[in-house]
Structure 1
Amino acid sequence: MNGPVVVGVDGSSSSMAAVEVAAREARLRDVRLRLVHAFSWPAAHVPPGRPWEPSGAGLRELIDGTLAEAERRACQRAPGIEVVREVVVGEPVTVLQIESCTASLVVVGSRGLSRFGALLLGSTAGHLAAHAACPVLVVRGRPNPAGPVLLAVDGSPAAHGAVEFAFAQASLHGKDLIALHAWPTRSERTYDAPSDPPFVTYDEDRLRDEEQRVLAEALGGLGEKFPDVTVHRRLVRGRIRHSLIEASAEAGIVVVGARGRGGFTGLLLGSVSQAVLHHAHCQVAVVRTGAV
């Protein structure tokens, strides 16, 4: 998709950091940067998604000043990009979800001001990660500028979009890609194939071979599509959440799917994605099935 990179702006330091990241992403993708401020105005009775025409000059000046500062930072970070400002009536979650339908990427900060993001990871970011029509990038932590793209591989069909996004991100930024797949310890899981009886004996070599196959199949074909990306396969033994959060300390960004295998079908944002959103040391991209 060649849609714009959309970033939520509320004037907080977190959203301004998101603006700078979004500006760079827009320049690398050669698309417009769309600065969106969502404004709740119950008395206006304007449907969500409609442009806002404020009657209060003081409020207009405040919001215009916020967007002007956001545009200044964006152009400073990525000179020459096309920037569009938009003030839209509606709750931030709803507005940004609508924006995601025509965007190539939505970028948000990890904290915000007032209703825009006081509980961002519990509302705006979490909701967008579960429902957005395009990948969502949450700017948080202290990413390593020279760090690689870290990809969580679980082998589920639902995670294919995350794998492709990670390869594309590594290619755009000229970074290596670390594909991390965690396999459980003996105390966490007993391997059983469809033909195995319930009392199957744990076979570590067999389990390792199976997990290596899962990792290889998840990456299959994308190496040819992105020949400029150097891929490092990392098979680790342990819990995936802990392994990802620990590895994120040296990464520039971690990419996860919205939901992996083993979860409830109604749970749109899996436990791994939620844990990474809250605890990763770097930026987090969450990619839903079909969002790339």
Structure 2
Amino acid sequence: MYKNILVCLDNSNHSNAASALAIEIARARGALLTGCHVYAAKLHNTRFIEMEDGLPQEYRQEEILRNTREVHDTLITKGLKIISDSYMSVFQAMAAGLEVKGVDREGKNFEEIVKEVSECPYDLVAMGLLGLGRTGTSSIGSVAERVVRRVRTDVLLTQEGADTGKGIMVAIDGSPASFGALLRAIELSGIFDCDIEAVSAFDPVFHQSAFRSIAGVLTEEAGKLFRFKEQEKLHDEIIDKGLAKLYMGHLETAEKVAASRGKRIKTTLLAGKASEEVIRHARKTAPFMLAAGRTGAHAVAGLDIGSNIENCLRNVRCHVLVSSTEFTPEIGHKDGSLAWTEEAKALLSRIPKFARGVVKRVIEDTAKKEGLLEVTPDLMRRVRKKLEG
């Protein structure tokens, strides 16, 4: 669990919520807290120099300008340092009895926070979703968004008033990142004494919509070359029906992972666009916190953040834990894999690459549930028949 927590301070209501949650985690786990405030004295000085041409002529003499710059530089630097120290004093008072350090940095806010994280072994960054510069149309602050995209540490983004919610909701898509988020949620549920609901969303109509779109542009000859009718039947019989079973299997795995750690959880399968359904469910159930992996099942190398968690950050009304922790459950077979006969491999190779992974998972899940050690053509036919029926 978290042992070294960085808390970003700016005295906004959202930031104060981050301080409160971080302190509660630290009290429960004996973690070290570091409060950090960034101020931009040099930026103010640069802006002051840029405005000098607009001063009245009597103030534009070089000696007067030099004196004015020195006074402004001293007042701004000292003033911002005093403000930073004041934020830290309030934070330390809130965290009385805990080990607390203070860091103030000069520079561009998000850049300095990212540098601070890269220079120290923090395992959690807590910060407000919005800052002092929020507007009526703001959904996420620029600092929060830039930080969460750049650091590879767990980030807890907090919102004012979210503490009235109930429980922790975890988004599960079968990826190691989503199961890592589940582990974090289990740990946090013990601290905040709350329940967990694991949700998983699959899209039952996407492939059908895609095929209808393709059908409108393919010539008869192209349709034969693409084997359109066979592809469409494959999706109707296996992919679309199999997706529900696949994602239900992810939830069952989540239940087992939680149970192995002494936690009973609720599971809910949602049908529709992933982020849309998670957001809708979060608004309906009003959780205290949403926990999700930084990236999802379809992430590619170098991706900073997945589109689903990005959409959730902008639209849910609760605290959000963006987890960089990864965990691959090993439930069932010790090595997590099954043998495939050569005939079964040949049948699998006939399935288009974009659908092969889903089909393979459905078949292997069935094999594991039946206690089989090998996938055979007979099993594949039985799975297909079951999906069709």
- TM-score interval (norm. to shorter): 0.7 to 0.9
Identity %: 23
Q: Distance in 1 between matches of 2:91 and 2:287?
A: 26
Cα pair 2:176 2:326 within 8 Å, conserved: no
Query: For residues 272-291 of structure 1, what are the structure 2 equivalents within 5 Å?
Result: 272-290=308-326
Determine whether 1:150 maps to 2:184. Answer: no
Q: May I ask how many residue pairs the two structures share in their alignment?
A: 268
Instruction: From the superposition, tell whether residues 13 and 171 of structure 1 become closer, same or farther in structure 2 (CA, over 3 Å).
Output: closer
CA distance in structure 2 between the aligned counterparts of 1:33 and 1:93, rounded to whole angstroms? 19
Counterpart of 1:46 in structure 2 is: none
Show the counterpart of 1:95. 112
**CA distances 1:45-85 after superposition (whole Å, capped 9, x unpaired):** xxxxxxxxx9644333222222222333x23xxx5223222
Structure 2: gaps spanning 5 or more residues: 44-72, 209-228, 328-389
TM-superposed CA distance for 1:105, in Å, is 1.3
Q: 1:212 aligns with which of 233, 236, 248?
A: 248
CA contact (8 A) 2:166 2:287 kept: yes
2:103 corresponds to 1:86:
yes
TM-score of the aligned structures, taking structure 1 as reference length: 0.79
User: Given the two structures, how large is their TM-score scaled by the length of structure 2?
Assistant: 0.61
Question: By how many angstroms is 1:254 displaced?
Answer: 0.0
2:158 equivalent to 1:139: yes
State the Cα distance separating 1:30 from its structure 2 match. Answer: 1.4
Could you report, residue by residue, the CA deviation over 1:170-202 in whole angstroms, capped at 9, with x for unpaired residues?
2222221111001213x2235xxxxx9522152
**Aligned partners of 1:134 and 1:256: how far apart in 2?**
13
Report deviation, 1:245: 1.6
Q: Which residue of 2 aligns with 1:198?
A: 231
State the secondary structure of the residue aligned to 1:147.
Answer: coil
Per-residue CA deviation, residues 189-248 of structure 1 (Å, 9 max, x unaligned), is 35xxxxx95221524654322221232235543421x20x22111111122212222232
Indicate if the aligned counterparts of 1:5 and 1:25 stay in contact, CA closer than 8 A: no
Are the aligned partners of 2:198 and 2:268 in contact in 1 as well (CA < 8 Å)?
yes
Q: Which residue of 2 aligns with 1:47?
A: none
Deviating above 4 A after TM superposition, structure 1's stretches of 4 or more consecutive aligned residues are: none
Larger Cα Rg: Structure 1 or Structure 2?
2
CA RMSD of superposed structures (Å) = 3.1
Q: Secondary structure at the match of 2:166?
A: coil
C-alpha contact (below 8 Å) 2:5/2:22 kept by paired residues: yes
In the alignment, which residue of structure 2 is the partner of 1:23? 23
AA aligned opposite 2:199: L
Preserved contact between residue 260 and residue 270 of structure 1 (Cα < 8 Å): yes
Match of 1:48 in 2: none
For 2:277 and 2:161, locate their aligned partners in 1 and report how far apart those are by CA, in whole Å: 18
The match for 1:233 among 238, 243, 267 is 267
Residue 180 of structure 1 aligns with an amino acid whose one-letter code is V
Question: CA distance change for structure 1 residues 126 and 165 in 2, over 3 Å: closer, same or farther?
Answer: same
